[in-house]
Amino acid sequence: MPDTVDPRRASQAFSEKAGLAWVRLQEQTDAQIDAFGRAAIAALGVAAGDRVVDVGCGCGQTLLELGDLVGAAGHVLGVDVSEPMLARARTRVADRATVALVRADAQTHAFAPGGFDAVYSRFGVMFFDDARVAFANLRRALRPGGRLGFVSWQSLERNLWAARPLEAVMRLLPPSALPPMFVEGVPGPFFLSDPARIRSILSDAGWQGVEIAPVELPINVGGAATLDEATVYGLQIGPAARAMADAPAELRPALEAALREALAPFAGVRGVWMDGAALVVTAHA
């Protein structure tokens, strides 16, 4: 399968090292965010026979869900920049004749013009280097009247599962440790948290009929059953993990303790549950 990723443009958010962590914790991550992804699929209205592009398909959970909906007459193309995550996805969809995968940057990939009915993404469109260019490219991949549906996070402050651990570890780290992707207005997990920004980007890219619906759900952090499991997950994936990535080894015990302390008030018999807030966005070409 050809590697069509342009390293000068593709987001580095899911580099090989980060991608391997997502593969290792794929089941836990799916458990944490699956409900948000399904909300976007429902809003998109995927039906039998549809041809769908899954942007940022990751380890493949959404490919399976979309594949079930489009059926034998449909087709799903999964696009991602992370080879480790795509390798995991390939194993999960190996028996799905209607699902294909390509390693590519969706903002520049040469999709067949008008070749699809819908574009979908579960938390995969917030990392584009140039969102307007990316969404225009995705629009050209759709037939006239084709649909867009994605889910993106609301602001960091509205997502306690991300904010509380990040705040806790940043008290022990220099300000420079804060990854640029968490700065307001910079492509990253929370870039498409402002409805006005979303409308502006999609309008400039030629989309019409933009609808934005808030979705607020409790999140089972890392799909964990215990505080210990949630802490282990938070050390590897999430805003706090990215902030701690380059911390000196001697600081790791204190950072782990701070992370655990931040999660502890939300722990119960069913695991660690914290507030999550996203936006389900739909539009048409």
Query: How far is residue 27 from each of residues 32, 85, 200, 282, measured CA to CA in Å?
Result: 9, 12, 35, 27
DSSP letters spanning 8-26 = TTS-STT-HHHHHHHHHTH
Q: What pLDDT is recorded for position 13?
A: 52
Q: What is the pTM of this model?
A: 0.93
- Using a pLDDT cut of 70, give the percent of the chain over it: 94
The pLDDT confidence band at residue 3, using thresholds 50, 70 and 90, is very low
Q: What pLDDT is recorded for position 14?
A: 52
Residue 145: exposed, middle, or buried by beta-carbon count in 10 A (0-12, 13-18, 19+)? exposed
The answer to whether 141 and 53 are in contact (CB under 8 A) is yes
The answer to whether 282 and 210 are in contact (CB under 8 A) is yes
Of 146 and 1, the one with more pLDDT: 146
Please state the length of the chain.
285
Give SS3 for 253: helix
pLDDT (mean) for 41-65: 98
Q: What pLDDT is recorded for position 12?
A: 52
Residue 215: CB atoms within 10 A of its CB come to 16
Q: What is the pLDDT of residues 72-118, one digit of tens each?
A: 999 999 999 999 999 999 999 999 999 999 999 999 999 999 999 99
Does residue 6 have a pLDDT over 50?
A: no
What residues have CB less than 8 Å from 12, skipping those under 6 apart?
none
Q: What is the pLDDT of residues 213-228, one digit of tens each?
A: 999 999 999 999 999 9
* Euclidean distance between CA atoms 93 and 99, whole angstroms: 7
pLDDT (mean) for 24-49: 97
* Superfamily of 16-284 according to CATH: Vaccinia Virus protein VP39 (3.40.50.150)
